[in-house]
Structure 1
Amino acid sequence: MDSTSTPVPAADTGARPVDSSERLILLDVLRSFALCGVFVSNAYVHLSGRGFLPKEAADALMSTRVDVVTDFLFTRFVAEKAMSTFSFLFGLGFAIQMGRAEARGSSIVSVYTRRLAVLLLIGLTHLFALWYGDVLNLYAVMGFVLLLFRKLPDRNLIVWSLVLIIGAPLAVTAVMTLVPLLASSPEVAQEAARAKMARLAEIRSQTLAAFQSGSYLTTAKANAAFYWNVFLKPMTAAHALITLGRFLLGLLAGRRRLFHDVEANRPVFRWILGWGLGLAVLGNGVGLLVDYLLRIGVFSKPALWWRLLNQSVWEVGVLGLAACYVAGLSLLFLRPRVRRFLLVWAPAGQMALTNYLCQTVISQLVYYGYGFNLLGKLRPLPCLALMFGLFWVQILVSHLWLARFRFGPVEWVWRSLTYRKLQPMRRAPAREADVASAA
């Protein structure tokens, strides 16, 4: 089933935004599901304040079996899987834009460079004005690197993506773990680690108090300080390389035009579903088994070899389960009844940038001191259920907005600055003849 419509005419050589008739609706659906997972994950892990609580307060939120099970299910089935899918779709979008540029006989570099520069500006504004966990600035920076890979053969893209996704966390973790041990005695390294943990606990306590203060300026200052002192760390480099690896998988899928005709590529999606399930079981199974063996004392604590391999094994599970989600939803999209339900999600994905930024505002109004001040007060299940419900509000608002406008408001700014021309915002009213024929 081909979810595209009329391709860009060959005579149209001017760069311009994608018209609504040219969109791959399935990608909007996938983007919306990923966006829902990102919303829930960011709120639960970061914006709800769980990570800033002292151990006793954090344990109090996990005191029942429901809490433990909910947290386990979130960690294994949602955490990082949504962001992995979101990154994959970013690379896929790049491939589609590159294909359109080649169809016009022009280069993608100039337009895409402006597009990334504007995205970087939006991301940095979001980062320092609202939330330390902004991902847009990272996407923009890695997007510039992605340009360097655009002409690589498919086989090389696969190799590079796996090296970056699995090898990067192993290399960075090895440097972070082994260098302090080699530079000094184990006792000195342990003492430095204890001092670092104490300092980190102090920063978290100060940041929590600032976020609860009810003052935006105090919150913004603490947010920037936390980003610089804590969030921006060596593992950020690993995360950036992993993100680039996910981009490359999206670039490969877009180059192969897998999502332009899912029906014709049904065997490929079934293959991805099977292999994704295998990787998900392998990554999560190994992780659970080693954690259990560590807990019962079969392995010494902390096991150095597992500290080195843990993140890479985790990424295998993330990659596998994200692949299952993408392939499974794509195959379900071929079924007319399921398709009608999935199409309800599409508008939220069509204005994903606006919704992503609004999610930070919504979460802070729920949790921070200048909102309902629920920071560190919600147990796992109510927290996840609340954010999932609020995402459905975003779906509703997206439907209402796109019924009248061509783009989300931030998408409009992004496109206008990218193409250096104000884009038409309102949808043209339906002509009487069109309405009559539709009736």
Structure 2
Amino acid sequence: MSESDTSASSAAPVTRPVEASERVVLLDVLRGFALWGVFVSNSLVWLSGRVLLPKEKAKALAEPLLEQIISGLYVTLVTQKFISIFAFLFGLGFSIQLGRAEARGTSAVPLYRRRLGVLLCIGFAHALLVWTGDILHVYALVGLVLMAFRARSNRTVLFWALGLVTVMPFVVPAAIRYIPILMHGAEAAAAAVEARQANIQALFADSLAALSSESFWTAQMGNARLYLSFFWTEPRQVLWMSLILGRFLFGLLAGRLLLLQDVETHRPLLRRILGWGLLLGLVINGGGYALMRLNAEGTLWDPKGPWTLVLTAIQEPGYIATAAAYVAGFALLFQRERWRRWMSVLSPVGRMALTNYLMQSVVSIWIYNGWGLGLIGKLPMSRALAICCAIFAVQVVFSHLWLARFRFGPVEWMWRSLTYGRAQPLRRAPGEGSAPSVAAS
């Protein structure tokens, strides 16, 4: 969740964390913006317990007009957009790391593998001990596959990126639906689907009961059971990892082309991305949301028919288009001095993205789980949105205060120290300032 960390000594090429002066501030700002969107998505769907609720209760919470408006805006403007930006930045950071290593005559592969290994351990601990929706371990696993593309041509990277985000959303769901029919017959396949859905509903009900418990141990054991029983047995995990790899590859390609490192040169391209991205994203995702609402009421076609697969699959290009528009818009605005001053407020949050991401989970489970404030499954989307925005505002202040005294966030410091096999200097020296707010051009 941070950009590359390589350097060289005067005697021989060695690796060390990137200096503050070497950072591309635009990427930190964009990462902070993406962190906010990811937190909104996590809060409104999973952390607040909405996805675990029975359909009747979830529908009752969503009935007021305000909740319907927020739901529509969430699906159109937030769903999968910010996690796409995060994945894009992960791939872009990998590209920067490779470029710096090549410039200094070192290999980034051993260091990158260690980084991913540490990230994998942090992610597994987060998923099992704190919150089941962890994304870090998935990034670490898919990041190992990303390494296979480090020497591939730009054309090959683009081919695979486009294929993964356009073809896989059709292929995987179709295979999940139709292969059992071909192997066992329609009736047996339908019975298996119904049995799995019943098992998932029972698992969600048990998980909601556990997370609502006043016992911390009961709640966290329920979280671990949900992670082990659902996320690693869900067939669509293959699709999810494929889509993440596709987003990584778009970031890798953008890093090679210096798209965000040299914004001024790519201004015309970024303007086109902004315009077309917004248009395609709003048409595909906004139209798709309206059609799926009508389809859920049975007014268009059979909800179990093949058109549902098509409608769901074409949403992914819409997610990518909207996320690309957000990135392009941020990059263009950041070149204006007034906007840069305002947007740079998010830079410390982005520099401490890993720490802040984990803090969001810890604070949220205290707010929602039964051993804390016990609000899980009780709040409509509007209140969950207000809570997560308040938490994020506090994180902005905390990040500024922390980085005024320390070089890295606490978890970033641990990640770097474990990666390099030695404790990194954490506290700033007297008179040492924080990272300069320089532009990305």
TM-score category by the smaller chain? over 0.9
- Partner letter of residue 407 of structure 1? F
Q: Provide the C-alpha distance between the structure 2 equivalents of 1:59 and 1:284, rounded to a whole number of angstroms.
A: 21
Mark the CA change 1:285 to 1:391 in structure 2 (over 3 Å): closer, same or farther: closer
Give SS of 1:177's match: helix
- Partner letter of residue 77 of structure 1? L
Could you report, residue by residue, the CA deviation over 1:126-162 in whole angstroms, capped at 9, with x for unpaired residues?
A: 1111111111111101111111001111111111001
Could you report, residue by residue, the CA deviation over 1:155-176 in whole angstroms, capped at 9, with x for unpaired residues?
A: 1111100111121221110111
Q: Provide the C-alpha distance between the structure 1 equivalents of 2:57 and 2:298, rounded to a whole number of angstroms.
A: 27
Q: How many Å apart are 1:279 and its aligned residue?
A: 2.7
Q: Which residue of 2 aligns with 1:161?
A: 161
Q: Provide the C-alpha distance between the structure 2 equivalents of 1:205 and 1:293, rounded to a whole number of angstroms.
A: 27
8 Å CA contact 1:286–1:313 kept in 2: the answer is: no
Q: How many Å apart are 1:403 and its aligned residue?
A: 0.2
Q: Provide the C-alpha distance between the structure 1 equivalents of 2:339 and 2:250, rounded to a whole number of angstroms.
A: 26
Correspondence 1:53 to 2:50: no
Mark the CA change 1:379 to 1:146 in structure 2 (over 3 Å): closer, same or farther: same
Q: Provide the C-alpha distance between the structure 2 equivalents of 1:41 and 1:288, rounded to a whole number of angstroms.
A: 16
Give SS of 1:369's match: coil
Q: Provide the C-alpha distance between the structure 2 equivalents of 1:324 and 1:278, rounded to a whole number of angstroms.
A: 9
Q: How many Å apart are 1:355 and its aligned residue?
A: 0.6
8 Å CA contact 2:7–2:18 kept in 1: the answer is: no
Q: Give the total of aligned pairs.
A: 427
Mark the CA change 1:312 to 1:416 in structure 2 (over 3 Å): closer, same or farther: same
Q: Which residue of 2 aligns with 1:346?
A: 347
Q: How many Å apart are 1:228 and its aligned residue?
A: 2.1
Give SS of 2:375's match: coil
Q: Which residue of 2 aligns with 1:381?
A: 382
- More displaced, 409-418 or 211-220? 211-220
| TM-score between the two structures when normalised by the length of structure 2 | 0.92
Correspondence 1:93 to 2:93: yes
- More displaced, 98-107 or 166-175? 166-175
Q: Provide the C-alpha distance between the structure 2 equivalents of 1:192 and 1:24, rounded to a whole number of angstroms.
A: 51
8 Å CA contact 1:85–1:326 kept in 2: the answer is: yes
- More displaced, 222-231 or 68-77? 222-231
- Partner letter of residue 354 of structure 2? L
8 Å CA contact 2:8–2:16 kept in 1: the answer is: no
Q: Which residue of 2 aligns with 1:436?
A: none
Correspondence 1:210 to 2:210: yes
Query: Unaligned stretches of 5+ in structure 2?
Result: 434-441
8 Å CA contact 1:62–1:379 kept in 2: the answer is: yes
Q: Provide the C-alpha distance between the structure 1 equivalents of 2:185 and 2:105, rounded to a whole number of angstroms.
A: 61
Correspondence 1:44 to 2:31: no
Q: How does 1:22-37 map to 2 (within 5 A)?
A: 22-37=22-37
Could you report, residue by residue, the CA deviation over 1:114-136 in whole angstroms, capped at 9, with x for unpaired residues?
A: 11111111111111111111111
Mark the CA change 1:131 to 1:222 in structure 2 (over 3 Å): closer, same or farther: same
Could you report, residue by residue, the CA deviation over 1:49-76 in whole angstroms, capped at 9, with x for unpaired residues?
A: 1111112211121121111111111111
- Partner letter of residue 59 of structure 2? D
Q: How many Å apart are 1:303 and its aligned residue?
A: 5.0
Q: Provide the C-alpha distance between the structure 2 equivalents of 1:431 and 1:286, rounded to a whole number of angstroms.
A: 52
Give SS of 2:314's match: helix
Give SS of 1:144's match: helix
Q: Which residue of 1 aligns with 2:282?
A: 281
Q: How does 1:57-206 map to 2 (within 5 A)?
A: 57-206=57-206
Q: How many Å apart are 1:291 and its aligned residue?
A: 3.0
Mark the CA change 1:416 to 1:27 in structure 2 (over 3 Å): closer, same or farther: same
8 Å CA contact 2:118–2:418 kept in 1: the answer is: yes
Q: Provide the C-alpha distance between the structure 2 equivalents of 1:301 and 1:318, rounded to a whole number of angstroms.
A: 25
Q: How many Å apart are 1:293 and its aligned residue?
A: 6.1
8 Å CA contact 1:82–1:322 kept in 2: the answer is: yes
- More displaced, 83-92 or 375-384? 375-384
Q: Percent identity?
A: 47
Give SS of 1:123's match: helix
Q: How does 1:247-286 map to 2 (within 5 A)?
A: 247-286=248-287
Correspondence 1:369 to 2:359: no
- More displaced, 239-248 or 215-224? 215-224
8 Å CA contact 2:76–2:282 kept in 1: the answer is: no
Q: Provide the C-alpha distance between the structure 2 equivalents of 1:431 and 1:115, rounded to a whole number of angstroms.
A: 27
Could you report, residue by residue, the CA deviation over 1:390-409 in whole angstroms, capped at 9, with x for unpaired residues?
A: 10110100000000000000
Mark the CA change 1:57 to 1:292 in structure 2 (over 3 Å): closer, same or farther: closer
Q: Provide the C-alpha distance between the structure 1 equivalents of 2:155 and 2:287, rounded to a whole number of angstroms.
A: 28
8 Å CA contact 1:279–1:319 kept in 2: the answer is: no
Q: Provide the C-alpha distance between the structure 1 equivalents of 2:313 and 2:294, rounded to a whole number of angstroms.
A: 18
Give SS of 1:243's match: helix
Q: Provide the C-alpha distance between the structure 2 equivalents of 1:360 and 1:330, rounded to a whole number of angstroms.
A: 29
Q: Provide the C-alpha distance between the structure 2 equivalents of 1:339 and 1:155, rounded to a whole number of angstroms.
A: 33
- Partner letter of residue 279 of structure 1? L
Q: How many Å apart are 1:289 and its aligned residue?
A: 5.8
Report the aligned-residue RMSD: 2.0
Q: How many Å apart are 1:292 and its aligned residue?
A: 6.1
Q: Which residue of 2 aligns with 1:396?
A: 397
Q: Which residue of 1 aligns with 2:430?
A: 429
Give SS of 1:234's match: coil
**Misfit runs of 4+, over 4 Å:** 7-12, 295-299
Q: How many Å apart are 1:294 and its aligned residue?
A: 3.5
Q: How does 1:210-359 map to 2 (within 5 A)?
A: 210-232=210-232, 233-288=234-289, 290-291=291-292, 294=295, 299-359=300-360
